[in-house]
């Protein structure tokens, strides 16, 4: 009886210890960043290769794809971390956000909607008949969403180019997802094998004709948290030298009919000099070591 | 009567023209400098500020060669050694700092009846350090122009936001406009040693 009681006590003590340990771990896992560091919650700062964290909401601007201009009205966020720059190229390797959402999906409304990209008068009978249903049911809105076309390691960032307004500050392989029930779930311009590559600068672009040079801006610099975080207000990243492939996968089983209509209407594939990306951002960069410290100081 | 009026108008316009365009010259004990002179000094107080980060140097020295060219005070900054520099943050250090592309051209300027020294072609490289500093490893290139207000009584040149604004000077670093504050004594080092240097 006594031995059984002792064994019960031991089991109970072990259970209590396990629970306490679990609580302690839970505590460390739910450590909260504070102040300006909170933006870097999804930065993989525990990876010692990560030297800087980035959180960059794109709050405005526009993307001109062929002859379709889409204003940016919904905020998309690029976040993650990046390495020390390569001493020769000055380019840093990008690291995926902890939650996997390195570039958040922010659908932007396409002006003109479905009629703007699949006009009734130009469509074959089958498409016309189908599209009638969508118009009758007011399913005419089309969204366009920028998505990463490759893994985040395909993103290249140069801090010096960003601040000095010379050269490529951010290179990002993307694809444009066109979304509407009629277009189906796989209507894209660009793919992982043939991405649209933005080579964004805060300086002046030198595009092929018919585009003309446009000017970016590195933003107004402010240092925060005792020099551990910087914020660039009103930064403008631009590229009007990129090319865009034809749309694919649009219209589901009717894609063989719908793709050519969309391509004809938007002007795809669109050669370099016909497309533009203007991204208006607030850019936050933090020293990863300082983010780690902040995390450790706030268990 | 008409002639007198025209003459008065002409005289007035001549006076205004002289006031607006008169180029100030370097003077020692009230006499215009002939030939060249070297002015040296150390900043009484000087700092460079990016919003949120001020960089100060304990030793902010300068060497300026001056001369009057066609009645206008000209010069060139030939040396600007900077030592023992720190920032006002606990996380950022100054790994190195150096003036580059010297000499920098300088000129005396009269703006709204105040004399200024205007310096062009400024280039200073600052390398920040500190593992916790977001600018670690970033070379901040301070470039642009600077305008300093000359005080003939105190024999100093003062650089601040007002003197930059008056002279249209702009200094930039990391894509942003930065503020340079500093008071520099103006003291001749060669033939006019211990003589009062004024600009007028």
Sequence-ordered alpha helix ranges (H) in B44-172: 161-167
Interface of A with B in 279-298 (CB under 8 A): 285-287, 289-290, 293
* Cβ–Cβ under 8 Å, residues B195 and B55: no
Write down the pTM of the prediction. Answer: 0.83
- CA B73, B74, B80, B86 torsion-angle sign: positive
ipTM above 0.85, yes or no: no
User: How many angstroms separate the CA atoms of A289 and B91, rounded?
Assistant: 11
- The CB density around residue A17, as the number of other CB atoms within 10 Å, is 10
Instruction: Pick from A227, A234, A237 the residue to mutate for testing the B interface (most B CBs within 10 Å).
Output: A227
**A285: nearest CB among B134, B137, B139:** B134
Of B53, B90, B130, the CB nearest to A223: B53
Sign (positive/negative) of CA torsion A234, A109, A63, A170?
A: positive
Q: Which of A160, A224, A287 sits opposite B136 (nearest CB)?
A: A287
Instruction: Give the pLDDT confidence of A105-151 residue by residue, as tens digits.
Output: 999 999 888 777 667 666 677 677 666 666 666 667 889 999 999 99
User: Interior CA angle at B94 toward B93 and B95, to 5°?
Assistant: 105
Cβ distance of A228 and B91 shorter than 8 Å: yes
pLDDT digits (tens, 9 = 90+) for B95-114: 999 999 999 999 999 999 99
Residue A86 near residue B137, CB atoms below 8 Å: no
Tens of pLDDT along chain A (299 residues) come to: 455 555 555 555 555 444 444 444 444 445 689 999 999 999 999 999 999 999 999 999 999 999 999 999 999 999 999 999 999 999 999 999 999 999 999 999 998 887 776 676 666 776 776 666 666 666 678 899 999 999 999 999 999 999 889 999 999 999 999 999 889 999 999 999 999 999 999 999 999 999 999 999 999 999 999 999 999 999 999 999 999 999 999 998 889 988 998 998 899 999 999 999 999 999 999 999 999 999 999 87
B2 prior amide bond cis, ω within 30: no
How far is A289 from chain B, CA to nearest CA, in Å?
6
Quick one: DSSP state of residue B90? Answer: S
Both tokens of B140, joined, read 């901040």
Contact A227 B135 (CB under 8 A): yes
What are the pLDDT digits (tens) for A209-227? 999 999 999 999 999 999 9
Angle of helix A125-136 relative to helix A255-266, nearest 10 degrees? Answer: 80
Taking the CA atoms of residue B118, residue B121, residue B125 and residue B126 in that order, the dihedral angle to the nearest 10 degrees is 20
What residue ranges do the domains of chain A occupy?
1-30, 38-297
Would the CB atoms of B132 and A290 count as touching at under 8 Å? yes
CB-count burial class (<10 Å; 0-12, 13-18, 19+) for B186: buried
A54 touches chain B (CB under 8 A): no
- The whole-angstrom separation of Cα A25 and Cα A29 is 6
Cβ(B91)–Cβ(A228) under 8 Å?
yes
**Cα of A188 to nearest chain B Cα, Å:** 36
| Residue B55 · residue B94 · CB < 8 Å | yes
The closest alpha carbon to B176, from A56, A184, A217, A198, belongs to A217
């Amino acid at each position: 009886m006594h031995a059984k009681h002792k064994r019960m006590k031991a089991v109970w003590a072990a259970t209590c210890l396990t629970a306490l340990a679990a609580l302690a771990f839970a505590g460390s896992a739910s450590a909260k960043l504070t102040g300006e560091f909170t933006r870097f919650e999804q930065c993989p700062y525990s990876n010692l290769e990560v030297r800087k964290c980035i959180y960059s909401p794109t709050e405005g601007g526009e993307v001109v794809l062929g002859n379709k201009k889409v204003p940016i009205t919904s905020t998309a966020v690029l976040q993650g971390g990046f390495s020390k720059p390569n001493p020769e190229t000055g380019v840093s390797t990008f690291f995926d956000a902890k939650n996997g959402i390195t570039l958040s999906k922010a659908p932007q409304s396409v002006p003109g909607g479905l009629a703007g990209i699949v006009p009734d008068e130009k469509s074959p009978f089958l498409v016309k008949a189908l599209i009638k249903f969508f118009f009758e049911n007011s399913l005419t809105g089309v969204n366009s969403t920028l998505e990463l076309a490759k893994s985040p390691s395909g993103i290249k960032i140069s801090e010096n180019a960003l601040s000095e307004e010379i050269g490529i500050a951010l290179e990002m392989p993307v694809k444009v997802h066109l979304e509407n029930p009629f277009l189906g779930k796989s209507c894209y311009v660009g793919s992982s094998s043939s991405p649209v590559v933005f080579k964004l600068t805060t300086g002046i672009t030198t595009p092929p004709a018919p585009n003309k040079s446009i000017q970016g801006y590195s933003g107004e610099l402010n240092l925060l948290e005792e020099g551990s975080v910087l914020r660039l207000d009103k930064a403008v990243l631009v590229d009007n030298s990129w090319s865009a492939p034809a749309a694919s996968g649009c219209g589901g089983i009717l894609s063989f009919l719908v793709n050519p209509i969309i391509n004809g209407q938007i002007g795809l594939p669109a050669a370099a000099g016909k497309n533009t990306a203007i991204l208006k951002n607030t850019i936050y960069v933090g020293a990863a070591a300082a983010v780690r410290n902040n995390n450790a100081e706030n268990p | 009567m008409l002639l007198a009026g025209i003459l008065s108008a002409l005289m007035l316009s001549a006076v205004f023209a002289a006031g607006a365009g008169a180029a100030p010259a370097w003077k020692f004990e009230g006499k215009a400098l002939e030939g060249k002179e070297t002015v040296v000094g150390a900043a009484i107080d000087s700092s460079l500020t990016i919003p949120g980060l001020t960089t100060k140097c304990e030793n902010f020295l300068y060497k300026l060669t001056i001369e009057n060219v066609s009645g206008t005070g000209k010069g060139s900054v030939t040396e600007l050694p900077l030592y023992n520099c720190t920032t006002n943050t606990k996380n950022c250090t100054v790994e190195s700092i150096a003036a580059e592309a010297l000499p920098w051209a300088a000129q005396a300027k009269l703006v709204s009846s105040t004399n200024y020294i205007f310096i062009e072609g400024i280039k200073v490289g600052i390398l920040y350090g500190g593992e916790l500093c977001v600018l670690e490893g970033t070379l901040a290139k301070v470039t642009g122009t600077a305008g300093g207000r000359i005080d003939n009584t105190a024999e100093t040149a003062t650089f601040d936001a007002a003197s930059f604004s008056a002279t249209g000077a702009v200094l930039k670093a990391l894509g942003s406009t930065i503020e340079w504050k500093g008071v520099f004594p103006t003291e001749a080092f060669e033939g006019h040693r211990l003589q009062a240097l004024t600009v007028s």
